[in-house]
Amino acid sequence: MRKIIASAALASLVACSQNNTPEAVPEADPATQRTTATGDVVGFVEANGAHVWRGVPFAADTSGKNRWRAPRPAEAWEGIREAVEFSPTCPQIATPFSGTIEGFDDGELEGNEDCLKLDIYAPADAQGQSLPVMVWIHGGSNVSGASQLYRGHNLAVNENVIVVSIQYRLGPLGFFSHPALIESAAQERDKAANFAVLDAIAALEWVQANASAFGGNPDNVTIFGESAGGHDVAALLISPLAEGLYHRAIIQSGLVDSLTPAEARGEEGDQPNPSFAVTERLGGPERFHTATLAEVFDAYELEDGMWMELPRMIEDGVSIPAMPMAEAFAGGAPIADVPTITGTNRDEMKLFYAFDDRLTKPVFSIFRKPIDEDFYNSVSHYAGRAWRVRSVDGVASALGAQGRTDVWAYRFDWDEGGTFLFTDFSKLLGAAHAIEIPFVFNRFSLIGQGDQYLFSKKTEASRQELSQAMGAHWAAFARTGNPDLAGQAWSTFGTEGSSIIFDTQADGGIRNEVTADSFAAIAADLQTDETLTDEQQCLIAGALLFWSEEVAANMDCPSVEKP
């Protein structure tokens, strides 16, 4: 997705509440010593009893000759490797959200190309068992993020599963298409353009080879990811290289967008920073493997000093089929025949609208509130529905049309955020993008010290109840391929388009509803929405152009433009 700042709505709160106290390095515990295919590792024991290993290599350093190449095998080591500290992140421009990573400086280039590492979380008695393995792929618009932001010790212990959180190449290092790379490829995978997807595949291959050493079952692996991570899960579902490496999939607020190589290179379309232009700025293909990391990033235009504009998820014909991802899901290419969950949050777009000066205003230069609360809610409502049509109804319906009956959908509705002086998060964010993650992981950590305001004490009991239920549903799915729980069935998407709604008892509780939607229905509702003026209806139609031109085409507007 272009121009998405995955934590913009929380930026001021993070900046005001950041705790810069360095995290203590845990002490290695001999009880956690395990033998992997590349050597022995020792981790530590979390406060809740989970055994944890951090920064375990699953592939080699990707700098120099390995840059813009398929991941190479990790080198073996002698002795016992202490796995008690997080590995360096993959290179990225730090944002307010990633600023919660120790040592990150907002707006600066951070990270290290030797970053293909993963973190493992297991129950204390997992060794010798054959537990489900849940492999998490983090979000961040595929240009930001790190495994350390998502810690799985509570999920592992609560649900008796193995949780693996992986890192992968981001931004320009993760997605890049150029003929010179194809011509000089040493192996077929080197001809790919989605190196981030290849990294995820390499991590899954590592899981196949090593899961049993940590008490996991390599024949029962679930991939799950949010936002860009959900996009990557969708890519793995259609990747011929990932076949057999996983057995269930969960897409949280993901999409199925993609570009042709010609668009990614700038031969067609209007993609920002196409590879041909970047290559020229870099000094030619001969500098692909010799340029410094800073020189690579400097070859990309920076937006507001924070995020790069670049093509992502390229139809390279190697890591994913040479066709639009949406067409692949609709039957144009083989898709993994594994149980699948896909879902969104009700107010996805509030995260991105919260700092939009057209919709909200500052209070004392720091805090935000909607200019017109009713209109703010309306534009968020219709945009959230559009996101859902693309990532839930479109995906689930396409799979159903191929005869699949093992597809489930969800909608996350929790909107009980607290207040921070003049900011009311229940109104500003509601059930915004990414807020479901702490509920799945049963760890209410999202924005650093500001979590105490977003997740206030007064909602702790109801939040924990909802969190325990969501984690149990995710784990039941990982365990059996069916997310049903005793006392709480989860209806399949089916022909009616059913979803389970996740919310607290005060707001209706967890329940199944028919939620199927379409752009035609959105357009019809928008046209007849008496709470909106004609001008406001047309403004919303313009905001929906990112998702589809269908709504705008059905509106009687003098002009509709992308905002």
Q: Lowest-pLDDT range, 5-9, 88-92, 207-211, 533-537? A: 5-9
Instruction: Choose the final residue of a domain: 338, 369, 396.
Output: 338
Residue 461 has pLDDT above 80, yes or no: yes
What pLDDT is recorded for position 556? Answer: 82
Question: What's the pLDDT tens digit per position in 392-402?
Answer: 999 999 999 99
- 276 domain-assigned: yes
What pLDDT is recorded for position 6? Answer: 36
- High-pLDDT (> 70) share of the chain, %: 94
Q: How far is CA 342 from CA 22, 224, 228, 233, in A?
A: 37, 10, 13, 10
Residue 12 has pLDDT above 60, yes or no: no
pTM score of the predicted model: 0.95
Residue 198 has pLDDT above 90, yes or no: yes
What pLDDT is recorded for position 95? Answer: 81
Question: What's the pLDDT tens digit per position in 286-310?
Answer: 999 999 999 999 999 766 655 678 8
Report the domain count for the chain. Answer: 2
Average pLDDT, the chain: 93
CB-CB neighbours of 468 under 10 Å:
15
- 350 domain-assigned: no
* Six-digit token string for 217: 């079952």
Backbone angles phi, psi at 361, to 5 degrees: -130, 150
110 beta partners:
92
- 20 domain-assigned: no
Range 391-394, long-range pairs (CB < 8 A, 24+ positions): 391/230, 391/251, 391/253, 391/254, 391/255, 391/256, 391/342, 391/344, 392/342, 392/343, 392/344, 392/499, 393/497, 393/516, 393/517, 393/518, 394/256, 394/326, 394/329
* CA 360/CA 3 separation, integer angstroms: 18
Q: Which of 355-359, 409-413, 448-452 holds the top average pLDDT?
A: 409-413
User: What DSSP assignment string belongs to 337-397?
Assistant: -S-EEEEEETTTTHHHHTT-TTTEEEETTTEEEESSHHHHHHHHHHHHHHHHIIIIIHHHH
324, 342, 347, 254 alpha-carbon torsion, rounded to 10°: -40
Q: What is the CATH number of the domain that holds 235?
A: 3.40.50.1820
Rounded to 5 degrees, what angle do the CA atoms 318, 323, 328 make?
A: 100
* CA 302/CA 3 separation, integer angstroms: 11
* Six-digit token string for 390: 């693309």
- 173 domain-assigned: yes
Query: What one-character DSSP code corresponds to residue 194?
Result: B
* CA 496/CA 469 separation, integer angstroms: 24
What's the rounded mean pLDDT across residues 83-101? 87
Instruction: Choose the final residue of a domain: 338, 358, 379.
Output: 338
Question: What's the pLDDT tens digit per position in 96-112?
Answer: 766 578 888 888 899 99
Backbone angles phi, psi at 201, to 5 degrees: -65, -40
Residue 233 has pLDDT above 90, yes or no: yes
What pLDDT is recorded for position 307? Answer: 64
What pLDDT is recorded for position 17? Answer: 45
- Provide the residue type at 425 as one letter: F
Judge residue 284's burial from the number of C-beta atoms within 10 Å of its C-beta, 0-12 exposed, 13-18 middle, 19 or more buried. exposed
What pLDDT is recorded for position 20? Answer: 54
**Closest among 283, 282, 314 to 182, alpha carbons compared:** 314
User: What DSSP assignment string belongs to 126-155?
Assistant: -TTS-EEEEEEE--STTTS--GGGS--HHH
Domain span at 70 = 28-338
- 147 domain-assigned: yes
- 348 domain-assigned: no
What pLDDT is recorded for position 9? Answer: 40
* CA 72/CA 38 separation, integer angstroms: 13
Query: What one-character DSSP code corresponds to residue 457?
Result: G
What pLDDT is recorded for position 561? Answer: 63
- High-pLDDT (> 90) share of the chain, %: 84
- 497 domain-assigned: no
* Six-digit token string for 84: 């008690």
Give yes or no for a contact between 48 and 154, defined as CB atoms under 8 angstroms apart.
yes
Residue 4 has pLDDT above 50, yes or no: no
* Six-digit token string for 473: 């549903």
Instruction: Choose the final residue of a domain: 307, 338, 369.
Output: 338
- 464 domain-assigned: no
**Closest among 137, 280, 287, 279 to 222, alpha carbons compared:** 137
